[in-house]
Amino acid sequence: MFFDEKIVAGLRGRDYIETNDWTDEELEVALELAADLKFKFRNGIPHRYLPDKTIFLLFFDKSTRTRNSFEAGATQLGAHAHFIDAETSQLAHGESPKDMGVILSSYGHAIAIRHDLVPGEGNTLMREVAKYAEVPVLNMQCDVDHPFQTLADLMTIREQFGRNLRGLKIAVSWAYAPSYAKPMSVPQGLIMLMTRFGLDVTLAHPPEWKLMPHTIEIAKKNAERLGTKFEIVDDMDAAFENADIVYPKSWGIEELFHKPEEALKLAANYKHWICDERRMKLAKKHAVYMHCLPADRGNEVTDEVIDGPQSIVYQEAENRLHTCKSVMTLTMS
C-alpha cells in the first residue's frame, strides 16, 4: 500500500491527543493504514512493525475495549504494553506529570493515558505530560475527546457507506442511562471529526446536557469551512428523522460531574430518550445503529435494536484494534 512518505515521516514521534491535532491528510493516512492492518490481521499476515518497542498504558478509569485493543495491538505489532493503574502508581501520591513524562520516556517509546471522568482534568494532564515527554503521548480517552474511538467510528462508517460521505446524516443523540454520569468525550469527538469528513451532523440532547462550548464552536467552523451541516436540536425524534447513522449515547452534565447523584436524578425525567424500533423507523431504511459500548441495554437502547440487523456495534468495536495499531505504528516507528 502506498503512503505519502512525507506525511508518514511527520507523524513519527507525534502526540495524538485530539483528532484536531492532526490534519485531514494525516488522519487519511491513519485510516488507510488501519484498513491495511485489518486485512493483514484477518488473513494471518505478520506485521511486526514495532519490534522491541514499549508503550505505557496509564488508566484513571475502567476499561475493556481500550485496554485490550492497545495490549493486543501492541503484541501483534511486536511491541509490549505495560498496564498502569493510576491508583497503584505514585500519581496517587502526587507525583507530577513532568516527572512521570520524563521518566517513562526514558523507559519506553510511548505513553498512553485514559483520564476521562473529570471535566477540565484529563486533557490538561495529557498535554502537561506531553510537554515534558520525549515520546508520543496518546489519548485513550479524556474529558474532551476520544480520538481512537471516533477514528474507528469513521473507519466503520466508510466501510458501510464508502469514502464519499457527502450528504449523509449522522444523528449524535443523548440517551438515558441510570448507571453513572458518563464522559462527554465521545459525542464531542464525533461532532468535531464527522463534520470534517463530509457528514451532516445533528446533535440532540435535553437542555441540561450541553457539550463543552469550544467543541461546539469547532464543529460549527468545520461545517462552515467544508460545506457540511451542523445543527443542535432538543428532540431525539427530530434528530433520527432521515438519518443514515444514529449514535445515541448517554453523557453527563459538565457542571454536575462532582454531584453525579443530582445529574442522575435529573436524567430520570428523560427516560423516554431511548433508541427503540419506533425511533429507528424514523431514520432511513438503510440506517445503521452505532455505539462505542458498553451500551446500557434497556435504557440507552433496546435489545431489539442493538442485536438487530441495523446494528454495527461489533464491527465498530473490532475497528478499535486496527485504529490503535495504526496510530501506534505511525507515531512509534
Q: What are the grid coordinates assigned to 103, written together?
A: 521518566
pLDDT tens digit at each of 333 positions of the chain: 667 899 999 999 999 999 999 999 999 999 999 999 999 999 999 999 999 999 999 999 989 999 999 999 999 999 999 999 998 888 888 899 999 999 999 999 999 999 998 999 999 999 999 999 999 999 999 999 999 999 999 999 999 999 999 999 999 999 999 988 899 999 999 999 999 999 999 999 999 999 999 999 999 999 999 999 999 999 999 999 999 999 999 999 999 999 988 999 999 999 999 999 999 999 999 999 999 999 999 999 999 999 999 999 999 999 999 999 999 999 999
Any idea which architecture 5-146+320-332 has in CATH? 3-Layer(aba) Sandwich (3.40)
Check residue 88 and give its pLDDT: 85
Residue with cell 419506533: 278
CA distance 252 to 254: 6
CATH number for region 149-316: 3.40.50.1370
Q: What are the grid coordinates assigned to 71, written together?
A: 495490549
Check residue 1 and give its pLDDT: 62
Q: What are the grid coordinates assigned to 184, written together?
A: 462527554
Residue 30: which residues within 8 A CB-CB, separation 6 or more? 11, 22, 151, 323, 326, 327, 330
CA distance 184 to 150: 13
The dihedral over CA atoms of 131, 135, 141, 142, expressed in degrees to the nearest 10, equals: -10
- According to DSSP, the residues that pair with 81 across neighbouring strands are 55
CA distance 107 to 87: 20
Which 3 state secondary structure label does DSSP give 206? coil
CA distance 216 to 232: 9
DSSP state of 113: E
Q: Where in the chain is the domain with CATH 3.40.50.1370?
A: 5-146+320-332, 149-316
- Measured from the Cβ of residue 217, the count of other Cβ atoms closer than 10 Å reads 11
Exposed e or buried b per residue across 258-282, where buried means at least 16 C-beta atoms within 10 angstroms of its C-beta? eeeeebbeebeebeebbbeeebbeb
DSSP state of 288: E
List C-alpha distances in Å: 283 to 163, 236, 289, 290, 295.
Answer: 21, 11, 10, 13, 20
Check residue 166 and give its pLDDT: 97
Give the chain's end-to-end CA distance (angstroms, integer).
17
φ/ψ of 179, rounded to 5, equals -75, -55
Q: Are 136 and 331 in contact (CB under 8 A)?
A: yes
List C-alpha distances in Å: 159 to 1, 162, 278.
Answer: 18, 6, 26
CA distance 65 to 294: 9
